[in-house]
Structure 1
């Protein structure tokens, strides 16, 4: 993989709630840092003021309102965090990005066409990893959580996996580089190693 046009490499980690995105993204970040790579770990909604407001008010936001807020946060996230890090030669590992909108906002009643209108301007990552797992294993993890967001309650592992497959196909049509990772039987470190195998480490 060649570096992002601005210098660093932009990596997005995607997948249904409960598949282990956050843990895998953290493990990938640790691996890269151990190799001496400068990395910015980040997430969406972002750590910008707007992103924090979305997290705090997610239960009261829905449909088009939430989708527009998330798209605006994505613009702020790119401008404030992602693009400057890439320009400085740092790699960016983002826990969620645009594919999550194509899944979660679908669960919230919007069409793919509308979601894309709000987000088509967003710079594609150099590579997007889609984590997949057995729905029963995902459901078991979700059942262990004390708190479930409104969108988590709207979906199911089967539905989210199906919508991520649709997002994968949709973004492939726009030239996105995307890789599916089957997480069954793998530890978070194993998942990170699989992702590393798809990165050109000579470019980092």
Structure 2
């Protein structure tokens, strides 16, 4: 594959979607071959997962999300990577290793459902003050069941555990502190790491 996969992760309310938009825009200024996506996907299966999350729980939800991810990797992400695109993905396997644990599953079981997807060239974990994240979440008009299941403190702790686990699987990962930084500044820090020689020369 000549393209690279960049994944942005972090707790609900940390600003992943905004940072992903800035990343895609900055990368596109250099090379138009940028594909921005998200998980769950925008496929019929992904849309079903989004709408069913309120009632689909535990193992059933974890399997549905893993199926959507596997389908998206095969049908959307890999074809873009093969065509030389940089793919920026809002959420990936780490989100399952956090959110499905909030839904009662063990990390090892969740990994069993997701271990065959391709690892990103770089996975970025955004972190912020828990008070700031909590305030952002209270401003949302609607929140998903799993957003209400945990909270910033618990999600940040679980992301730390997910990061430690994926380290043992050889994933290249970084943590970016968003405190006192604009989304543009955060994106610039991410791009500096993504364009570092050891990442830039490694498609996967």
Do these two structures clear the TM 0.5 threshold for a shared fold by scoring above it? yes
Matched, 1:87 2:82: yes
Preserved contact between residue 48 and residue 76 of structure 1 (Cα < 8 Å)? no
Q: Which consecutive aligned stretches of 4+ in structure 1 deviate over 3 angstroms post-superposition?
A: 201-204
TM-score of the aligned structures, taking structure 1 as reference length: 0.95
Q: Distance in 2 between matches of 1:185 and 1:144?
A: 20
Structure 1 residue 181 and structure 2 residue 190: aligned?
A: no
Q: Distance in 1 between matches of 2:176 and 2:119?
A: 19
**Structure 1 position 66 matched with structure 2 position 52:** no
Partner of 1:163: 158
Q: Which runs of 5+ in 2 are unaligned?
A: none
Q: CA RMSD in A?
A: 1.2
Give the TM-score normalised by structure 2. Answer: 0.95
For 2:148 and 2:101, how far apart are their aligned partners in 1?
A: 13
Q: Deviations over 1:39-73 (max 9, x none)?
A: 11000000111101111211111100000000000
Please tell me whether residue 57 in structure 1 is matched to residue 49 in structure 2.
no
Give how far 1:197 is off: 0.4
C-alpha deviation, 1:34, in angstroms:
1.3
Matches of residues 22-37 of structure 1 in structure 2 within 5 Å?
A: 22-37=17-32
Measure the CA separation in 2 of the matches of 1:147 and 1:116. 29
Q: Which residue of structure 2 aligns with residue 114 of structure 1?
A: 109
Give the whole-Å Cα distance in 1 for the aligned partners of 2:187 and 2:73.
24
